[in-house]
């Protein structure tokens, strides 16, 4: 009896360990979907500006295409890619927990500003610019379910 319990524990323990490592290292997640702006902060402005649901400030990612809406109207669209990048702390001049904000969205028609992102649950957060020079900026979006964005 002892041997069977011991053998079972030896068999299960590596599986639990593997599962925990897999979940802890999920990276930044996928930006695919439709997201509505909920908060912005940064620059020389203290605190953050909050946005109510239904504000029409939306970013939508599908495949390699994106659209940015302001007040419900498309203001920018084009192609994007996601790249892995571990330089978030150097780029935005903030300290983050290890393994967070390791991906960037690169818009094909944008400047050289690095835009790091993290997806946690139904929240998408972007960081860009260097906070030490009052140029840092963050945006928090919430996933919009059942929305058809054309």
Q: What number of residues does the chain have?
A: 150
| Tally of domains in the chain | 1
Buried b vs exposed e over 5-32: b needs ≥16 C-beta within 10 Å? eeeeeeeeeeeeeeeeeeeeeeebeebe
Please determine, for residue 119, whether its predicted confidence score (pLDDT) is greater than 70.
yes
Domain range for 76: 28-143
Asked, for residue 46, whether it belongs to a domain, the answer is: yes
Asked, for residue 102, whether it belongs to a domain, the answer is: yes
Output the pTM of the full model.
0.77
Q: What is the CATH number of the domain that holds 38?
A: 2.40.128
Q: Look at residue 28 in the predicted model and tell me its pLDDT.
A: 64
Asked, for residue 18, whether it belongs to a domain, the answer is: no
CA distance 48 to 66: 25
Asked, for residue 80, whether it belongs to a domain, the answer is: yes
pLDDT range class, residue 15, cuts 50, 70, 90: very low
Asked, for residue 10, whether it belongs to a domain, the answer is: no
Asked, for residue 17, whether it belongs to a domain, the answer is: no
CA distance 54 to 72: 9
Asked, for residue 21, whether it belongs to a domain, the answer is: no
Please write the tens of the pLDDT for every residue from 48-78: 999 999 999 999 999 999 999 998 899 999 9
Give the phi and the psi of residue 71 in degrees, each rounded to 5: 60, 30
């Amino acid at each position: 009896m002892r041997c069977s319990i011991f053998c079972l524990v030896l068999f299960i323990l590596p599986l639990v360990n593997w599962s925990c490592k897999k979940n802890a290292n999920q990276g930044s997640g996928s930006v695919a979907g439709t997201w509505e702006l909920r908060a912005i902060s940064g620059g020389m402005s203290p605190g953050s500006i909050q946005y109510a649901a239904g504000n029409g400030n939306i970013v939508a990612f599908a495949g390699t295409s994106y659209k940015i809406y302001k007040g419900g109207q498309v203001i920018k669209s084009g192609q994007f890619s996601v790249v892995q990048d571990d330089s978030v702390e150097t780029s935005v001049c903030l300290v983050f927990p290890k393994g967070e904000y390791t991906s960037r969205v690169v818009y094909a028609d944008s400047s050289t500003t690095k835009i790091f992102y993290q997806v946690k649950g139904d929240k998408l957060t972007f960081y860009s610019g260097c906070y030490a020079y009052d140029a840092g900026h963050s945006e928090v979006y919430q996933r919009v379910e059942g929305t058809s964005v054309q």
